[in-house]
Amino acid sequence: MLKTFSMLLIAVIIAASIFAHKIQRYVNNPISDKNKVVEIEIDQGATFNQVSQRLVEAGFVVRPLYFKLLAMYEEKTQKIKSGEYRFNLMQSPAQILDDLVQGNTVQYKLTVMEGKRFQDFYQQLQDHPKIIRVIDDVDAIKSELNIAQDSLEGLFLPDTYTFTARTRDIDIIRQSHNLLRDFLDKEWPNRSEESFVSSPYEALILASIVEKETSVESERPIIAGVFISRLNKKMPLQTDPTVIYGLGAAFDGNLTREHLQTDNPYNTYTRRGLPPSPIALVGKAAIRAVLHPKISGDLYFVSKNDGTHYFSKIYEEHLAAVRKYQLKK
């Protein structure tokens, strides 16, 4: 009797050892040698059995019992995170389980460019298939973010934003607005004495003009200095981008003399001082240029048609530069 029991015990131990070895091989080896990628979405509140079944249907779990035993052994059956996942058949079940527990969901990127308008940013959010649209008007955004300004222009930081599927549009908008506020809070106290602007909002207004005038990093402080010098002398800024912004949908790509002579709050040819709001989304470099301008005595600049500008201190020199770089076209 004792011999029979011993033999039975040995058989059980051997069977258990073989079973454990099979499980170990299964969980640690690639599911397949095929480099096939499949996206799977795990719903909020899904049970482990529902997750396992979803993986079975997608071909990532061929032995659901082994997969569950692994999860139970590692106490992970209650730790699966919802979201959109991208798995490869060359992964092992153990790696897939780790991804599910760590929440290594698919990450999407949305790049917001300097110099674009808020409407362009908002349209990017509306057009992205993985972003949930919950905001549909300007007043709702202002209410959500406690924005006091009449215009939303320039109140969001251009950057590349990373997010997961089903992220709400307002959450990215809020993140962008908060990043801009944090940056201004950090930079504003350290502004130079030569900075003309009297508030962070005025800094955004002037920085948005600098942003539209040049994309050359080294020129931004110089152009900021030109505008600040003009403001100090009570000269109109006379910058085309503000006129174009004021024209809105009426601008067809051709800025005319009539446009420059037609008054509106954004026409810096007919009005002195800063326009009432920023005219574009502003990057960090343009803001820093306004807070730390290079005052060189220059009052004029004209495009050299190669991305850079020619700067002048007197009007006659400026006219000569216009003839050289613009009228010769």
pLDDT tens digits for range 233-248: 999 999 999 999 999 9
Q: Give the DSSP letter of residue 81.
A: P
Each residue's pLDDT tens digit, 110-121: 999 999 999 999
How far, in Å, are 190, 291, 294, 303 from residue 222 at the CA level? 19, 12, 5, 14
What is the band of 28 on the pLDDT scale with cuts at 50, 70, 90? confident
Domains defined for the chain, CATH in brackets: 27-102 (3.30.1490.480), 108-185 (no CATH), 192-327 (no CATH)
Each residue's pLDDT tens digit, 120-158: 999 999 999 999 999 988 899 999 999 999 999 999 999
Which region among 64-68, 234-238, 325-329 has the lowest average model confidence (pLDDT)? 325-329
CA distance 240 to 90: 57
**pTM of the predicted protein model:** 0.85
Each residue's pLDDT tens digit, 183-226: 999 999 999 988 889 999 999 999 999 999 999 999 999 999 99
How far, in Å, are 62, 64, 103, 151, 291 from residue 87 at the CA level? 14, 17, 12, 44, 48
* E strands present in the chain: 37-42, 83-88, 108-111, 131-132, 160-163, 167-168, 300-303, 309-312
Percent of the chain whose predicted confidence (pLDDT) is above 90: 68
Mean residue pLDDT across the chain? 89
Question: Measured on CA atoms in the order 163, 165, 171, 172, is the torsion positive or negative?
Answer: positive
Give the containing element (helix H, strand E) for 28.
helix 2-28
Structure tokens at 206: 């002037």
Give the pLDDT of residue 313: 94
Give the pLDDT of residue 302: 92
Q: Give the DSSP letter of residue 237.
A: -
Give the pLDDT of residue 7: 54
Beta bridge partners of 83: 42
What is the band of 16 on the pLDDT scale with cuts at 50, 70, 90? very low
Give the pLDDT of residue 295: 94
